[in-house]
């Protein structure tokens, strides 16, 4: 099957760096901010951001965790088999803090809805934002939008976006599978396309 | 590694594969985490209705199931035979079908007759969870016992477990033997000959009548409760007295210390303090009796969640 490369490892690295600087712009030294990666695939991006932010902020300790949404999904009993849960890592309080949810791909928005639900069983954060590496636009089934986006992708149904990470697949890259109808837009293109 | 149980009901450990048990344990790990959150509730079963049918008294199993169901957001109805039409002569199938007519999806049942859960699963349209059927099986207890061993020792395979006491009247023993064998543990049964079922060795277990020898062999001692209510006419037909039982088969601190090493102490509750174990042993650092209770809720959540995941939706 044809697969187009949306981000190669260089672009992947640059995008992660840009996202970090955007976070620093909005959250200063992140001392009252918590980064939460969504299991299973958001956690690799989240760990990468935490590492990179630590470097940028001169070794500052970044509050972070990993959120499993399995029991909050809205497709229980609507899929052939129930999903087994992933590990949860929530060793910090989110009460009154600014939370940034992190996932690899934003598509229908349903995972994020479940993530918000799971998040609120840990307390009441001051605010919640969403950071994604890939935003598949025009595919939303819920009124959910990302605050920080690595790259926008216009894709059609039947296409699939996969995010590979050095930690798991041995290489950082983002691929678009199935057909050639999609186009990817970086931040500069996005600015022009919305005007 | 599968993400689906091989069975539609939980009738006994005998029907489960080692993969099923592993899946239940992995799912229970997730629910244990849920139970440590400030808000200990998830919405998974919010469109499921569960009936808890207790045709025999059991406070702690019922509470544990009820809490598991509530933590999963299921709707619950409770039914106990002491306050019911069973006393008016209604049959089991009629009773259950009357309840199912009110759109109930799952039934958790405790019943005094062995095989009641299997019987029900063949005649009604609902998922059945056996919460103990007479002296036959009590699968969730066996699962939470093995899960607690796994949590304490990091594994079940190769662990030596002594099941001590009233094997004859205990449904916990049979389910435990099946569960531990499926997970690769070794089992020795220990108790007075009068409380040991015949042909029990055919299950592939060792039988030992000397408690000190069994304790010297084991890593884990599961001290079963003397089922005083099942011991026949005057209450004590199978052994001369509780005091003699406690001396021969009870675990007290001096006996524990004589081992010269640490073993894990378990008890399915409710404890007859001073009979199966003394207070010092029950409250000992190596006793995981209260962990068993805590894990019971997570295990029951996992079982209900996985079984409910197999109920087709009506659309």
pLDDT, tens digit (0-9, with 9 covering 90-100), for B73-110: 999 999 887 655 566 677 888 888 888 888 899 999 99
**Interchain CB distance below 8 Å, B3 and A83:** yes
The arrangement of strands across the sheet holding A160-164 comes to: A3-7, A173-177, A160-164
Mutate one of B19, B21, B37, B40 to test the A interface: name it (highest A CB count within 10 A): B37
Q: State the smallest CA–CA distance between residue A128 and chain B in angstroms.
A: 18
Smallest Cβ distance to B43: which of A72, A86, A122?
A72
For residue A66, the chain B residues in CB contact (below 8 A) are: none
Chain B residues near residue A121 by CB distance under 8 angstroms: 34, 37-42
Closest CB to A84 among B23, B38, B308: B23
* Residue B91 pLDDT: 83
Q: Residue range B136-151: average pLDDT?
A: 96
d(CA B132, CA B139): 7
The pLDDT assigned to A189 comes to 42
Minimum distance, in Å, between the CA of residue A91 and any CA atom of chain B: 10
The size of the A-B interface in CB pairs under 8 A is 65
Distance CA A158, CA B285 (A): 57
pTM: 0.87
Structure tokens given for B22: 């592993």
What is the C-alpha separation between B36 and B38, in angstroms, rounded? 7
- Confirm or reject contact between A21 and chain B (CB < 8 A): no
Distance from CA of B172 to the nearest CA of A (A): 27
Give the one of B29, B44, B312 whose C-beta lies nearest to A76's C-beta.
B44
DSSP at A19: H
Nearest to B271 by CA among B57, B60, B109: B60
* Alpha carbon distance A182, B224 (integer Å): 65
Q: What CATH architecture applies to the domain A10-76+87-151?
A: 3-Layer(aba) Sandwich (3.40)
Domain positions in chain A: 10-76+87-151
- The reported pLDDT for the residue numbered A188 is 44
- The residue that leads in pLDDT, A178 or B211, is B211
How many whole angstroms separate alpha carbon B263 and alpha carbon B253? 12
Confirm if B309 and A81 have CB atoms less than 8 A apart: yes
> B261 burial class (0-12, 13-18, 19+ CB within 10 angstroms)?
exposed
| Per-residue pLDDT tens over the stretch B29-58 | 999 999 998 889 999 999 999 999 999 888
pLDDT, position B223: 96
Task: Tell me the nearest-neighbour CA distance from B160 into chain A, angstroms.
Answer: 29
- What is the rounded CA–CA span in Å between residue B130 and residue B108? 6
Q: Is the ipTM of this complex over 0.85?
A: no
Candidate from B26, B37, B310 with C-beta closest to A122: B37
Q: What is the DSSP string of B257-287?
A: HHT-S--EEE--S---BTTTB-HHHHTSTTB
Confidence of residue B310 (pLDDT cuts 50, 70, 90): confident
Residue keyed to tokens 């004589």: B258
Backbone φ/ψ region at A178: left (φ over 0), alpha (ψ -120 to 50), beta: left
Cα distances (angstroms) measured from residue B56 to each of A173, B70, B73, B82, B83: 60, 22, 25, 8, 11
Q: With beta carbons less than 8 A apart as the criterion, state whether B107 and B120 touch.
A: yes
Q: Which residues of A touch B42 (CB under 8 A)?
A: 71-72, 121
Residue range B112-136: average pLDDT?
A: 91
- A53 to chain B nearest CA, in Å? 28
The DSSP annotation for A122-156 comes to T---SEEEEEEEEEEET--SSS---SEEEEEEE--
* Mean pLDDT of the region B253-279: 93
**Which pair of tokens denotes residue A71?**
């029991």
Residue A32 · residue A59 · CB < 8 Å: no
Ranges under pLDDT 70 in chain A: 1, 179-195
For range B234-255, the mean pLDDT: 83
Q: What is the pLDDT at residue A191?
A: 38
| Residue B305: alpha-carbon gap to chain centroid | 18
- d(Cα A126, Cα A96) in Å, to the nearest integer? 4
Tell me what percent of the residues of chain B surpass a pLDDT of 70: 94
User: How high is the mean pLDDT of chain B?
Assistant: 90
B238-253: average pLDDT: 88
């Amino acid at each position: 099957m044809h697969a187009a490369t949306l981000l190669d490892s260089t672009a992947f690295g640059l995008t992660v760096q840009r996202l970090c600087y955007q976070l620093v712009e909005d959250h200063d030294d992140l001392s009252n901010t918590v980064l939460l990666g969504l299991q299973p695939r958001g956690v690799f991006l989240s760990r990468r951001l935490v590492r990179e932010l630590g470097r940028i902020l001169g070794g500052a300790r970044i509050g972070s965790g990993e959120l499993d949404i399995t029991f909050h999904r809205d497709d229980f009993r609507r899929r052939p088999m129930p999903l087994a849960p992933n590990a949860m890592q929530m060793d910090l309080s989110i009460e009154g803090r600014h939370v940034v949810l992190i996932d690899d791909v934003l598509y229908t928005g349903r995972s994020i809805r479940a993530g918000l639900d799971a998040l609120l069983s840990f307390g009441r954060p001051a605010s919640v934002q969403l950071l994604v590496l890939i935003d598949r636009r025009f595919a939303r089934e819920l009124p959910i939008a990302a605050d920080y986006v690595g790259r926008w992708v216009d894709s059609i149904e039947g296409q699939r976006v996969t995010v590979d990470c050095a930690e798991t697949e041995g290489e950082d890259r983002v691929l678009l599978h199935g057909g050639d109808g999609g186009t990817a837009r970086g931040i500069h293109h996005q600015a022009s396309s919305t005007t | 590694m599968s993400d689906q149980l091989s069975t539609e009901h939980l009738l006994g450990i005998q029907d489960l594969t080692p993969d099923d048990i592993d899946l239940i344990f992995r799912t229970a790990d997730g629910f244990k985490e849920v139970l440590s959150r400030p808000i200990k509730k998830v919405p998974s079963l919010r469109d499921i209705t569960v009936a808890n049918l207790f045709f025999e008294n059991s406070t702690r199993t019922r509470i544990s199931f009820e809490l598991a169901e509530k933590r999963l957001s299921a709707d619950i109805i409770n039914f106990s035979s002491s306050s019911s039409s069973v006393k008016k002569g209604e049959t089991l199938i009629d009773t259950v079908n009357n309840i199912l007519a009110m759109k109930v999806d799952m039934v958790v049942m405790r019943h005094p007759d062995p095989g009641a859960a299997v019987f029900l699963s063949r005649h009604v349209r609902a998922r059945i969870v056996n919460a103990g059927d007479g002296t036959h099986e009590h699968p969730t207890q066996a699962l939470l016992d093995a899960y607690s061993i796994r949590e304490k020792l990091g594994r079940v395979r190769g662990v030596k477990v002594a099941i001590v006491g009233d094997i004859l009247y205990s449904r916990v023993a049979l389910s435990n033997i099946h569960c531990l064998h499926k997970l690769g543990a070794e089992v020795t049964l220990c108790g007075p000959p009068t409380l040991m079922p015949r042909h029990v060795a055919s299950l592939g277990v060792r039988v030992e009548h000397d408690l000190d020898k069994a304790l010297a062999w084991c890593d884990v001692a599961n001290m079963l409760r003397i089922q005083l209510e099942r011991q026949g006419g005057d209450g004590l037909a199978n052994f001369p007295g509780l005091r003699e039982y406690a001396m021969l088969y009870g675990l007290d601190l001096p006996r524990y210390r004589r081992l010269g090493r640490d073993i894990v102490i378990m008890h399915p509750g409710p404890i007859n303090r001073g009979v199966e174990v003394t207070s010092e042993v029950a409250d000992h650092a190596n006793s995981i009796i209260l962990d068993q209770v805590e894990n019971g809720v997570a295990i029951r959540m996992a079982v209900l969640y996985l079984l409910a995941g197999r109920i087709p939706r009506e659309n």
